[in-house]
Each structure stands twice: as structure tokens, then as C-alpha cells.
A and B are shown apart, each in its own frame.
Chain A
Amino acid sequence: MIEFTLNGQRVRTDASPDTPLLWIVRDTFKLKGAKYGCGMGQCGACTMHVAGEAVRSCITPLVAVQGESVTTIEGLGTPSSPHPLQTAWTEQSVLQCGYCQPGQIMSAAALLAHNPNPTEEEVEQGMAGNICRCGCYPRIKKAILSVASHNAGDAAGILAEEAPA
């Protein structure tokens, strides 16, 4: 039995400990926001936060999150109470098919939490693990920088939304 915190709630499962976290979250706990894209940590569509760090949940075995705090896109914000990045994505029509965007946004949130006011190059490097096949990169970059300039110096404000309940 493995226990962890998922978006502020304690959860437990007796699934096989080698099962990637992605499938536990999607199929056991029915949170479908994180996506499968490659299964080998190459595309970032599955990005979640574990203890505040962006991880590729498709290659993170369940056993690795024993006792940890896991945040998914659903824990970052909701349609009625979106995270500033989700608002920027919406207002700036960043996305197209949208499939990779939960992963993009989770990577961006972790990036800003660590570096509230990144340079353009730092955004590019921080987001290099996330593929967007629709090619929304110029808009993703612009949206992150717009939130960064708004939130400059407020790393705690971005992290606060995923503090364990």
C-alpha cells in the first residue's frame, strides 16, 4: 500500500509500485488532466509537481511518491478559480489542440516558482522538456513572461496554491 497526497488530499493505493504515477492518477484517481504522450519522459505532457518540483509522471514509479505531495493541473487551478498561468493561456489564445498544455502549464508553474522573473533564454531552457506539436511555443513563451512580469518577486504566491491542505 502506497500513500501520498494528491492535490491536498491523502490517497492510498495497492497498485503495483512500479506503475508510473501518470496511470495511477489518471486511471485510479480519475484525474485526466495530465496526458500520456511518449511514456519515456521525452515530451512533458504528463508533467506533475512532486514536492514542488516538475516531474515526468510517465517515468515516475508510484513507489517514488510514497509520502510525497503530488500536484496535478487540477490542483493548480480550476475553471472557476484559474491559476494566473491558466488565465494568461486563455486570454492570449496560447493553445491549439491543447493536449500538451496541462504539462506545459505545470512546467511553467514550477519554473516560475523557482525563478519568478526569468529571462527569455531561461524560459526556453526551462520549457525545453515540453513538446508542443501544434507549435504554440511563441505564445507559451510570451504568456509565461507576461505572468512573470506581473508576479515578479512573488514566488511564494505561485507556490501557495499547491500547499498541502
Chain B
Amino acid sequence: MNDASLSRRKFLTATGFAGGGLVLGVGLAGCGASRPPITPEDGAFVPNAFLQITPDNVVRFFCPRDEMGQGITTGLATIIGEELDVAPWNMEVVFAGPHEEYANPVFGVQITGGSTSVRGHYQPLREMGAQCRHLLLEAAATELGVPASALSTEDGHVVADGVRRRYGDFATAAATLEIPELPPSLKPASAFKYIGKDFPRLDGLAKATGTATYGIDIDIPDMHHAVVKRCPVAGGTLRSVDKAAALAEPGVTDVVEIASGVAVVAKEFWQARKAADALDVAWDLPQLASLGTADIKADYQAALEADEGLVAEEAGDIEAALGSAETVVESDYWAPYLAHAPMEPMNAVVRIANDEADIWSGTQGIGAAQGLVARYSGIDRDKVRAHSTWLGGGFGRRGTLTHVIEATQVALATGKPIHLLWTREDDIRHGLFRPASLMRIRAGVGAEGNLVTWQAKRVGGNITPDTIANTMPGLLPSAVGDTMIGWAVGLADHAFGGWVVDGTSVEGLFEDYEVANLDVRHITRDHGLPLTFWRSVGHSYTAFAKESMIDELAARSGQDPVAFRLRHTENNPRLNRVIRVAGERMAAMQPAPGRHLGFAAHRSFSTGVAQVAEVSVAGNKIRVHHVLCVVDCGLAINPDIVKAQMEGAIMYGLTAALYGNLELEGGAIRESNFHDYPILRMSESPSVEVVLIDSNDDPTGVGEPGLPPIAPAVANAVFAATGRRLRSLPLRLA
């Protein structure tokens, strides 16, 4: 181990930053620990933070994770229901409020993201379910005067001598029992009734009938609507505002200055929206205002040539290996800034009265929403009621809650309950973005056809400093002041700028294939556009570079692209399996004349995915007709939901592969809505076949891993069709 990696490891340990995500290992005392997570109803049984069984037989599951489409309410209800022995569809699923008991086991804080929910909760929720069932059986044994061993359970009933009695009948008695210290033994996979089985999502009917309540749907008495006018260039500040014209508009009650800009408040949303256009605002612009995308790209290019970069990973002897290589290929790959564009734009409802507050919002961290309202209103966290709603898409965007801060500041300034809504234009232009990246890979194949060297370098901004800046204020107790947080953010900025590599910036660039000589470096260039997680994070761009290069190497060294991948993944079983199965399927595919196949595989968030894209090219138009997707995520809790996540990630990734592009002009984002930031439509979408690898390994996540392979699979198919390598996203032939 060299000095660089030693200091990196020390830094990561000392600060709690870890590759691939953010871990806050600091003490979070005061985060709602003072009250129990669930208030029991009369006679109800509350064995733990996740279940309540009432005497009238409601089995209520408190879902600790946020539902943004990934099916987590169904998935986690299935996991706990399996050991509790209650069918998921016979439970009432509610969103757990903010409480330390609902921390994500992977992160240690209450955040939903990183494809961690099933992975993190699989074991703990089974134990909670088993513990509850055990106590219900104990209570039933006492009440019925039989040994517990004479009893069995069946979908929410205790069965004794063939007679079924509802769990609710024993709730009051079970509530008096002492909770055993050790969890009872868990079922073997062969006994699973619900895990691994397909059944409809639990949230289908509510969502299909328009009765599911999203944050935007919250409507409370005397609610006023706020729209914020922000500086067109991120980081700009308000110089002056003439409020008169906006105040004269119908329905407008207030125009207030807040940290992010000027908020117009009206009785109706439409009134606020129109009046915001009438605001006369002048801004002091930051340095970013002098830059366009071409400048940023040129700066990245210059850095790539001039800057050695920080070592992220190294092994062997690159120079010697290059000398021995028979085929050496060097290519640069570009990926642009992207917005998340979830269908529901950011919004929050905040009510502040009598030193208490309520916040309603669909977030990927309701605890952070509570903390932000507390911090920015000065109200005790315990007096802030935070209400979760369904999320109209997340994709990483709803982990950052500047809209909650805005709503809090407007509510404070006006004394009114505030519904604050970002317009779609706000969403495209004023959010946090997937960072742009320029990547260079130089790789060599030896005489035996094996990969002998892999050098990769990425230039771009890091997401972790912005993410810490936006997350910490909500997670830390209000007593930890802004100075302290500013220090931590500055430390992260400084560290990732010149000392250690932000793991999310290079993840996926080098890990998948075995190679003895490795050199992975990172050069930070940050021009001030706010950055954050975007579905599959660093993998969203690194997989494009890595899988394009692998395809290029196979072609240049005269090898089959599937066989080439297989021979370098023998120690990476999940990836090896999906490559093998997808390769076999690909060999059997018979594309229609004019259609061509492209292959890509990538492992992210511990899940392996391989995809084959069937593509045609007419003129300059790339059309993706069909995608085969093979996934190994261990045990699939609900196979149909896993398939849906793969389908969805492919569509999300295709939008990025074919269209996704934000251009800066004078530091401002040029695109504004779906007419110039197009999203894949049904008429452009491929059919998808998903194949699940049969496995009883503990489950890993599926929200993100379906995305990384699609762009390179399409690019590789375009090469097959045209002989042209497209190395820039979005893929364009002209």
C-alpha cells in the first residue's frame, strides 16, 4: 500500500466518507430519540418500531423507506410479512415518520437511495417479523392453554386444532410479554410463501385511481402558494428587486426575499406563477456566468493533457505492460450535465404556528426535512411534525431538500401556511445535476488476447461536497451551527479537490475486469454548478466509457466481445453469470435485416447486469427496438418488481443515451422544459425482456444497476451497424 492510498483510507475512516455514498457516522443525538416511534392504540401490540397489531386485527407495517416508484412498500412488506406470516396485501402499510429507529441500516441515517433498501432491511425486518410472530404464539399458547409447539400460523391467524383465530385476538395479551433478547430462527428459503413470488404491487389501485397523495397534493386551511424567482446562474445573489408590479397582480399577498431568491406568495398557484414573471430583479452573477459548456469541456480537455491527477487505484507496472501489449487503444469519452426531471417537480408544504411546525413533502429523507425545518425556523426538532407522502419520482434528486428550506423561510416571513412548488423550468434549471465528465481510457491487450493494462482518468466535479452541504444541515442537531457545517463542507471540498478521490467520481471505471496493471486517476474541475446523485451515480457515465472501451478492445484484437468479457470476470461471479447468460441469448437472437446487436455489462450496487440492445440506424436516427436484460441481484423479493425496475432503468438510461443534454450559456442552463430536454416517449421505447438469474444469495438493490449498461450497449450496436464509435453522450451520428 502506498502513501496515497494509506492517507485516503485514514481520511475515509476518520471522516465517515466512504466510496459510493455518504456515511455520517457522527452522533445524531436529538434526532427524535426522545419519544417512541409508534404510539400504540388501545390494546394494541407494538413489538418493535415496524409493527402494530390492533385488537380489531389491523396489521400495520411502518415502512421505514420512501416510495419513489421502486416498489419498496411492497418489497419491505413482503420481507416482514414472510416471517410474521401475514400476506403483504393483508397489511396496512404506512410511511414511518422520522425517527432514529428508521435509519437506513446501510447509511446509519434516515435516507432512501443507493439501491440499499432491500439489501439493508432484508435481515432486520425478517427478524422483526419473526419476533412478533413468536410473541403472538406465546400469547395464544397461554390463552388457549396449549403448548406453543401445538400451534401454527397461517396468513395472520393462529391455528390450533384446525381452528383459525386472528392475530388481533391475541394482540392485547402479547403486548404484556417481554421481548426476547435473541431473535427466533428464520425460515429457510424453501419455506418462503411470499418472498420470491409475483403478485401485484400494493400501491397500484391508489395510484391508478388518482387517490394516492403526493406532496404537491397537500391542501391545508389558509394555504398560500409560493413560486420562487432564482438567479439564472447557480451561485448568483440578489442585488435588487422591485416588488411593486408583482404585488399589484391579482391574488398576490406577499413578495419576500429568501436565501435562494425572491418568493411570490398568492392565494392560488397560478396567480403566484404569473406574478413571478412580473418581478423586476437584478442579480450579482458568480464566475460561472462567464462560462458555456464549450469552455468547461475545453478546461476538462486541458486538464486531461496537463494534470497527472490523484491516484484512485493502482496496481502493477503500467509502462512495462504497455510495452508488452500487442493492441493498445486510447479513447476519450464525454458525458454531459443532466437534470433528473422527476415527473413531480420539487415541492413542500410548511405550516408554522405557536412554536410548532408541520412539513409535508415527498423526500428521500424525511428526517432531514424535519431537521431543516427545525434549523431554519428555530423550532425544536421534537416540535416539528414531518409527514411523508408518495414521491412522484426521486432518482437521487429528492435527497436534496432546498425546497424545504425555501418553504420554511417563506412561511416564517409571511406567517402563512405555504405550499411551495417549483415549476418544470425551475426543475430543469435550478436543481442539482449529474456532473459532466470527460474520461480517458488507455488499455492494452497482450499476445494471448488478455487485458494487460488499464489506465483511466476522469475529469469533472465531485458530488460529495454539495451533497454534504445539502444533507448535513438537516441531519445534524440544530445546535451544530452553520460554521461547523461550513467547515465540514470546506474540508470535503478541499480534500476531494486535491487530496483524496471522491469514490463516486470514479466508481465503475475500473472494477469489473481483472487486469494486473491498473492506474486510475481523478482530476477535479468544478465550475460551480451544484451536483448530486443521479440514478446510478458515477456508474451512469463510467460504464459508458468502460464498456465502450471493452468493446473496442475486443474488436481491435479480433475477439468475440462476450468471450472477451467472460475471460476477465472469472473472479466476479455475478457479472460473469449475467455476461454468460446474456451472451448465450444474444447468440440465439436473429435480428431483422437492418438491425444490429450491441452488448454491455456492468456491476453496480453489488448487482450484476448485462444487456443486449437491438438497434437500427436510418440516416442519422438511432432507433432502439429491443433490449434483453439479464440481472443477478441475488434472491429477488418480488421478481416482477425487479423486472419493472430493469425496464424503467433502461428507459431512463435511454433518455440519457439518446437525448439527455444540458448546455450552459453564460453560466445559465439553456434547456427549460420537455420540449428542449426531451424524455423518451412510448413511440420511441423498445420492448424489454428481463431474465433473472435464479439465486438464493441475500438480495441486493435493483433501482440503479439496470441503467449503466444501456448507453454503451446502444453505442456498441451503433458501431455494429455503422462502423462508427460514438464516444460522446448523447449518442449522435451528426
Residues of A within 8 A of B (CB): 15-16, 19-20, 23, 26-27, 30-40, 42-43, 45, 72-74, 77-79, 82, 85-86, 89-102, 105, 123-125, 127-128, 130-141
Contacts and interface: CB of A to CB of B under 8 A. Distances in A.
Contacts of A97: 67-69, 342-344, 390-394
Contacts of A91: 200, 204
Interface hub of B71, B207, B648, B673 (most chain A Cβ within 10 A): B207
B282 interface: no
A135 B649 contact: yes
Contacts, number: 194
Interface string B203-225: 11111111111101101000001
Nearest to B219: A30
Contacts of A100: 343, 392
Nearest 7 pairs of A and B residues by beta carbon = A33-B210, A135-B651, A98-B207, A99-B392, A97-B69, A96-B69, A73-B210
B207 A136 contact: no
B685 to A, nearest CB: 4
B647 A136 contact: yes
B278 to A, nearest CB: 14
Contact of A131 (B71, B390, B681): B681
Interface of B: 67-71, 200-201, 203-214, 216-217, 219, 225, 250, 268-271, 273, 341-345, 390-395, 421, 423-424, 640-641, 644, 647-652, 673-675, 679-683, 685, 687-688
A86 B205 CA distance: 7
A124 B683 contact: yes
Nearest to A90: B204
Interface hub of A31, A85, A133, A138 (most chain B Cβ within 10 A): A133
B208 A90 contact: yes
Given A42-B673, A135-B651, A138-B647, A86 B209 contact: yes
B683 A134 contact: no
A102 B210 contact: yes
B179 to A, nearest CB: 36
Nearest to B267: A27
Contacts of B648: 96, 134-136
Contact of B270 (A23, A94, A127): A23
A138 B392 contact: no
Nearest to B71: A96
A45 B647 contact: no
Contact of A92 (B68, B200, B207, B269): B200
B355 to A, nearest CB: 29
13 contacts: A31-B210, A39-B273, A43-B674, A92-B200, A95-B203, A98-B206, A99-B343, A102-B208, A131-B681, A132-B651, A132-B682, A133-B395, A137-B685
A45 B343 contact: yes
Contact of A37 (B68, B207, B343, B651): B343
